[in-house]
Amino acid sequence: MKRILICMCALPVVMTACHRKDKRGTVDTSTSKEEVTKPAFDCDSAFAFVKAQTDFGPRVLGSDAHRQCRDYLVSQLRRFCDTVYVQTFTVRTYDGKQFTAENLVGAFRPDAASRVVLASHWDSRPFADHDPAPARREEAIDGANDGASGVGVLLEVARQLRSQQPAVGIDIVFYDAEDYGPRESDNAPSGEWWGLGSQYWAKNPHVEGYQASYGILLDMVGSPNPKFYQEQFSTHYAPAVVQKVWSTAYSLGYGSHFINQPGGVITDDHYYVNKTAHIPMIDIIHYDMASGTGFDPVWHTTQDNIGHIDKQSLGIVGTTLLQVIKNER
C-alpha cells in the first residue's frame, strides 16, 4: 500500500508538491464529554473475520487465495446486506501484467437517497519489499493489517447493521487491486499504479449516478495501540468528515487513539474517490511517527500476519464507525 508524499509533524505545511494548501483538521475537545452508550461491536467476531481472510494465504491478484477469499467475502456480504454487487474489471499493473479484479459492494437500504460509503481494500501485496530479511522480499504477504483488518471491521459493522438497520443508506465497498504498486527498486513507467480498484470504482460506481454524502476508508487499523492522526488529503478534501469522526471517537473515550494532530499526506483509495468521484472521503489509518516509513513497522513485510492484529484496536475503530452511523438521521 500507499505512498506518503510528505511527512507531517505538528507544523502547518503548504503542500506545494500537490498544489494544495494544507488544512488542519480540528476537533473541539474543550467541552466535557457527555456520557455516551457505546454501540455493540464484537471484537472477537471482527478478529475472526480478519483471520478468515489470512487463512486463505496472500490474496494476490490472479491467485487461488484471491479467488477463494472473494467467494468468502461475497458470501458474508450476502448474509448481512440487503443487496450485493460484484464489479468485475481488468487492470494492467505497472509491470505490464493484466489481471481480472473485482470490487465487492454490500448495500443497506439501497433505495435511500442519503448514503454513506465505508471502504477498505481486500487484496494483499505480492512482495514483501520492506522485509528486514532481503531473501524474503520477493514473498507475498498475508496483509493481515494492510487490508484484512479494515475488511474485518467492516464485516462486523455489517453484521451489527443487519439487526440495527441504519437510518441512512450504507454502502460497504471492498476495493481490489489496491496494493500492486511498484517497489522503490522498480523502474516503473509513470502512472497511477496504486489503488486500481478505487480508481475504477470512482469512474464507474456500482450504481449509475451514485452519490454519497461522505465516505470513510479504513486501512491498517489492527495495530496494537493505534494512533490515528488526521491524514492530510482527508483534511483537505473532507474536513467536516474528519471533525465528525474524531469528535465521535473523543466522545467515546478514544481521544488517545484518534489524535487531534496532522499525520501524513497519503495516496490511498480515498484520494481517487475524492478526486474523481467527488465524494468527500477520509482515511482512518495508523500513522507511526517513529518509523522510517510512517507506517507500522510490519508494513510490506512477511510479519504482517494475524499474530500482529490487536482485537481491541479493531473494536476502537468499529465502535466509532457504528456510533457515526447511529448519529446520522
Q: Dihedrals φ, ψ of 100, to 5°?
A: -85, 130
Question: Given this model, what pLDDT does residue 173 score?
Answer: 98
Q: Are 59 and 124 in contact (CB under 8 A)?
A: yes
Report d(CA 139, CA 305) in Å as an integer: 13
- Residue 22 grid coordinates: 494544507
Question: Given this model, what pLDDT does residue 13 score?
Answer: 35
Confidence of residue 82 (pLDDT cuts 50, 70, 90): very high
Question: Given this model, what pLDDT does residue 28 score?
Answer: 52
Range of the domain at 189: 3-326
When mean pLDDT is compared across 7-21, 62-76, 84-98, the lowest value belongs to: 7-21
- Residue 239 grid coordinates: 474536513
Q: Are 106 and 166 in contact (CB under 8 A)?
A: no
Q: Are 267 and 3 in contact (CB under 8 A)?
A: yes
Q: Dihedrals φ, ψ of 302, to 5°?
A: -70, -10
Residue 8 has pLDDT above 60, yes or no: no
Give the total number of structural domains in the chain: 1
Q: Indicate whether this model's pTM tops 0.85.
A: yes
Strand-pair partners of 21: 14
Could you tell me which of 252, 245, 243, 250 has the C-alpha nearest to residue 35? 252
CB burial string 15-24: b at 16+ within 10 A, e below: beebeeebbb
Question: Given this model, what pLDDT does residue 307 score?
Answer: 98
Q: Dihedrals φ, ψ of 201, to 5°?
A: -65, -40
- The identity of residue 50, as a single letter, is V
In percent, how much of the chain has pLDDT > 70? 89
Residue 113 sits at the vertex; the CA angle it makes with 161 and 245, to the nearest 5 degrees, is 55
Could you tell me which of 49, 122, 92 has the C-alpha nearest to residue 200? 92
Report d(CA 186, CA 180) in Å as an integer: 12
Report d(CA 222, CA 240) in Å as an integer: 25
Neighbours of 218 (CB within 10 A): 28
CA 160 vs. chain centroid, Å, equals 19
CATH label of the domain that carries residue 155: 3.40.630.10
